[in-house]
Structure 1
Amino acid sequence: MTARRQQTRLARQVGELAFAVPAVVGHRLARMALAGPMPGARDRREFSGMVNEKGVAFANAWTAMGWQMLMSQQRLAFALCRAAWMPWLGGGGLALHRHWQNTAQQVMAAGIAPVHRKAVANARRLGRSR
């Protein structure tokens, strides 16, 4: 994926998160307030699920970011070896700068993807429920 497409996709995901998260939080807070001190079975399932999904999304995000960093470090090592052994092919400072810039975007995109996926799915699901 090109750097421009990656930037556009990351910006879209962040924008969708900006709308989905407040909707989910608002729905769940209202549900907690209406449930009172003795929530029903449906509310208990929703409340316990929301606690579990945060841990899963956090673990998925960190795992994805770690794998993305590992892959980026391997590409950087290859680029440094190529630059050292074949300096006439270019790939000096500007290429390394671009590599680090792309790496940062790729790691952020990998970390946001699981959180985005869950938050948008929750917003859709909770938007349908009554």
Structure 2
Amino acid sequence: MKTHRVRNTAGSSHYPLNAWTDLMFKAAETMTASTQVIGHRTARMAMAGPAPSMLDQHEFDLMSREKIEAAAESTHAMAARMLGLHQEIVIMAIQQILSGTANLIAVAGSSSLHQSGRRQSKLAHDTLRDSAEAVSQLNASLADIAGTGLEPIHARATANAKRLTEL
């Protein structure tokens, strides 16, 4: 039986290692960009002192507003992806139940001991394979959910690092 493939919304493959590696690189890029932005803004605050210019005030206001917006977008994106994941899990479970039931019926309908042994072996093999695939797909989906949540934060951090470097 072919199991349902978990849909991929974050751009990584169905393989958990690839999905988690993609997430790790995006997180590292986000942290690097955030470090640059924090350093720039902290220096700007220190230089502005108690009377920041209009440009500084705008930058400090942007700092707060974008954090709230990114957090809201991140939460929304992950919640939407989680709803889809619940449906995928139900589909995988139903497919495994149907496959297992068909294999059990085949074992019960065996006409010889040899045939029963082959069918039991197929039942065990199919069950283990399908379970391993489901776990692997779930693992990749969890990495995709984390990547979906990181995307708005990554986008802002990298855009700010680029913008502030050009100032």
Letter in 2 for 1:111: G
Q: Distance in 2 between matches of 1:5 and 1:85?
A: 30
SS of 1:82's partner is helix
Q: Give the % identical residues.
A: 29
Runs of 4+ aligned structure 1 residues displaced above 3 Å come to 88-92
Query: Which structure 2 residues correspond to residues 1-130 of structure 1 after superposition, within 5 A?
Result: 1-2=12-13, 3=15, 4-87=17-100, 88=103, 90=127, 92-129=130-167
Letter in 2 for 1:115: I
**Alpha-carbon distance, 1:82 to partner:** 1.2
Q: RMSD across aligned C-alpha pairs, in angstroms?
A: 1.6
**Alpha-carbon distance, 1:95 to partner:** 2.4
**Alpha-carbon distance, 1:64 to partner:** 0.9
**Alpha-carbon distance, 1:121 to partner:** 0.3
Structure of greater Rg: 2
**Alpha-carbon distance, 1:24 to partner:** 0.4
Q: Distance in 1 between matches of 2:18 and 2:76?
A: 23
Q: Distance in 2 between matches of 1:6 and 1:84?
A: 27
Number of residues of Structure 1 aligned to a counterpart in Structure 2: 129
**Alpha-carbon distance, 1:99 to partner:** 2.8
Structure-1 residue corresponding to 2:115: none
**Alpha-carbon distance, 1:5 to partner:** 4.2
Q: Is there any run of 5+ residues in structure 2 with no aligned partner, and where?
A: 1-11, 104-125
Higher helix share: 1
Q: Is there any run of 5+ residues in structure 1 with no aligned partner, and where?
A: none
